[in-house]
Chains A and B, each alone.
Chain A
Amino acid sequence: MSEPLLKVSNLAVSIRGDEGVARVLDRVDLEIPRGRIVGVVGESGCGKSTLIKAILGVLPPRAEIEAGEILFEGRDLAHASPQVLAREVRGSAIGFIPQDPLLALNPVFRVGTQMLETMRWHAPPQWKGRHRERLVELLGAVQVPDPEKALDRYPHEFSGGQRQRLLIAAALSCQPRLLIADEPTTALDVTTQQQVLKLLRDLVAEFGLSMLFVTHDFGVVAQLCDDVSVIYAGQTVEAAPTRRLIDEAAHPYARMLLACHPDRATELGGIPGSVPSPYVPPTGCRFHPRCPIAVAECTSRRPDLQRPSGDHSIACPRHHLTLPEAAA
């Protein structure tokens, strides 16, 4: 197997806050092979957006990467200089699609001005003078009606779905190798969501990209992603190709999360308890306070990622046990 485009290993990030040091990411492992769409799933507050910020090098000033590496095309972004990240990664090698397109767009500038700003600094030099042309082409590809005029309009003049299409085009503008999407469909209504997902899927195939897709919604993952990685409270708990994970989820958290999905839930259950505070994370496996099959050992030792098969990894030594009926 060839080297993955992005390989995050053993990443730990802490943020100094008013209440002390928050260990937001404790041990995150993630691989994005070339040409694939990888979903990262977890509840709110489990560290998904911190992971994205770490990859893009836009962590808040009080955050620190304590351990691990982020290998992108063989280069470690976790220890790259801010200049390199600004000049050669963000906007150029990695395109970013935000969660809420209305909040992400600057309300007082034309969308064309905003999209051209990224191109001005990150487009290949031979495109000089043809940036606008390229944007018009891309807006056509993301199916924004009347691209020429659209560039001269302001963000508030578009619908939510149109704005998201604009930002997808913006992310693609400088021919990135990787797209990072931060729950890009949560702010949209269901029908628009479907269109945007299909569009993303088609574009990734058409441009030969790889994509990291962060979401809390297993339904979206099932439709879109080739592989999926489940994280809980800053720890990767399970990773596998999407089909396999949905059919054979092994980690108790992944199994319970899947059971919460409306298609599967027999009754409204949910997972008891809530995501722990990163200031005082549980010791050992961070999921143990909510886990129905936890034993004393789980509270003291952080479980390693095991690989029962080449493309499936699980961070739970007890994953072969059945969950009690009430939990699953």
Chain B
Amino acid sequence: MLLFLIRRLLLAIPALFGLMVLTFVLVRVVPADPAATLAGETASRQQIEEIRKKYGFDRPLYEQFGIYVGQVVSGDLGNSVFSNRPVAADVRRTLPATIELIFSALLLATLLGIPLGTLAAVRHNGVLDHTVRIATVGGLAVASFWFAIMLQLLFSMELEWLPLRGRIGVNIGAPANVTGFFLIDSLLAGRWDQFVSSLRHIALPAITLAVPALATIARFARAGVLDTLQRDFVQYETAVGYPHRRIVWIYVLRNSVIAAVTQIGLLFGALVSSAVAVEAIFDWPGLGSYAVQAILASDYKAVLAVTLVVGVIYALINILVDLVHGLLDPRVAEQL
């Protein structure tokens, strides 16, 4: 197990290095001249050249990359070329909001998607099955920016049940920072009002993100359960007197969720990218909003940092998925 972890972490290094090469080159080949952007619109040619020298933009690209890698390895993501604040601090500030949002969405999607998919499979070709199938196609097809705006119109503007934007009520204020997740920190602080406010704020963006994920999970759970129901052990378990419900919800489901776990891991990546748009719409102060600002401002240091952080998270999630596989399937555990 420990050996597996070490091996997987070592294997993640070349992948992340590849990611750094790719993003570094991509960021630097775009026509925008970072020195010119930094110098501002009114700067003279000479001022631009000075800035180019100061920041090292005049050196060959591979040298710049070497310096960049050296900094990253020593834990320094550099300073924002825009605000001159350390990018690492910005990431630390915005990352928990995004993680909280994505985890809430995934939790919602999993808790609803797996039972829904299972029910559809048990009532194969029944009304519920057809409803779930049609609804999940809809859930996958709907554009999240449109869906987000519809939710805002209905629940925030029309019904006024939920707040339109933000992460917590302005006059309530953020809870004392422990984990960075407001839902957890507010409970740790024993502040019920903060918890309720956080929950009300996260509801709409989390639902927006959860819908396509829920559709995917429900479809995979349905296919997995249908498949498992054909296996011989289901017949055996019936023949030796297991109650039907327990066969489906315990013995079959445990086999079926193994495939769904892989999907949930992959969804995490997809959710990070949808989060960018959703955070912008709901004014959610997360990594996605930060990335949008950074791109618009040509703040290449911030863009590189965000990409790298997302890459690291993605690699970690993949390792986590394999570990969960091991927990669910003893035959996999033996190979870990």
Which residues of A pack against B, CB within 8 Å?
A: 56, 58, 86, 90-92, 95-96, 98, 100, 103-109, 114, 117-118, 121-122, 154, 156, 170-171, 174
Bound complex: CA A105 to CA B331 (Å):
14
Q: A106-B255, A109-B254 are in contact. Are A170 and B235 (CB under 8 A)?
A: no
Minimum distance in angstroms from A205 CB to a CB of chain B = 23
Instruction: Tell whether A90 pairs with B241 under 8 Å between CB atoms, given A107-B255, A117-B246.
Output: yes
A90 contact from B233, B238, B254, B328, Cβ within 8 A = B238
**Least CB distance, B312 to chain A, in whole angstroms:** 31
Contact of B242 among A92, A100, A108, A121 (CB under 8 A): A121
Question: Beyond A58-B235, A108-B254, A108-B255, is A154–B240 a contact (Cβ under 8 Å)?
Answer: no
Known: A107-B255, A107-B329, A156-B331. A98 touches B236 (CB 8 A): yes
Whether B240 lies near A90 (C-beta < 8 A) is yes
CB distance from A165 to the nearest CB of B (A): 15
Whether B330 contacts A91 by the Cβ 8 Å rule is: no
Question: Which residue of chain A lies nearest to B236 when distances are taken between CB atoms in the complex?
Answer: A104
Instruction: Kindly provide the distance from the CB of A227 to the nearest chain B CB, expressed in whole angstroms.
Output: 23
Contact with A along B13-41 (1 / 0, CB 8 A): 00000000000000000000000000000
B141 at the interface (CB under 8 A from A): no
B231 interfacial contact with A, CB 8 Å: yes
**Pairs across A and B, CB under 8 Å, 23 listed:** A58-B235, A86-B243, A90-B240, A91-B240, A91-B241, A95-B240, A96-B236, A100-B232, A103-B233, A104-B232, A104-B235, A106-B237, A107-B255, A107-B329, A108-B255, A108-B331, A114-B237, A117-B237, A118-B241, A154-B330, A156-B331, A170-B240, A171-B240
Check if B170 is an interface residue, CB within 8 A of chain A. no
Residue in chain B with minimal CB distance to A182: B239
Closest 3 interchain pairs by CB? A91-B241, A103-B232, A104-B236
The reply to whether B242 and A103 contact each other, CB–CB distance below 8 Å, is no
Q: Contacts of B238 on A, CB cut-off 8 Å?
A: 58, 90
A58-B238, A98-B236 known; A107-B331 Cβ under 8 A: yes
- In the assembled complex, which residues on chain A have CB atoms less than 8 Å from the CB atom of B254? 106, 108-109
Q: Give the Cβ gap from A98 to chain B, nearest Cβ, in Å.
A: 5
- Bound complex: CA A204 to CA B258 (Å): 40
Question: Which of chain B's residues have a CB closer than 8 A to the CB of A156?
Answer: 330-331
Interface size on B, residues (CB 8 A): 22
B75 to chain A, nearest CB (A): 41
User: Across the interface, which residues of A come within 8 angstroms of B241, CB to CB?
Assistant: 86, 90-92, 118, 121-122, 174
Where chain B touches its partner, the secondary structure class is helix
B240–A106 touching, CB < 8 Å: no
Which residues on A sit within 8 Å (CB–CB) of B243?
86, 121
- A105 touches which one: B233, B239, B242, B328 (CB < 8 A)? B233
Query: In residues 223-251 of chain B, which contact A (Cβ within 8 Å)?
Result: 231-233, 235-244, 246, 251
Q: B187-244: which have CB < 8 Å to A?
A: 231-233, 235-244
**Given the complex, which residues of A lie within 8 Å of B236, measured CB to CB?**
96, 98, 103-105
Residue of A with least CB distance to B258 = A108
CB atoms of A117 and B239 under 8 A apart? no
A122: chain B residues within 8 A (beta carbon): 241
Complex Cα spacing A179 to B251, Å: 24
Chain B: minimal CB distance from A87 (Å): 8
Chain A residues, Cβ within 8 Å of B330: 107-108, 154, 156
A66 to chain B, nearest CB (A): 22
Least CB separation from B333: chain A residue: A154
- Alpha-carbon gap, A98 to B234, bound state (A): 12
Which chain B residue lies CB-closest to A105?
Answer: B233
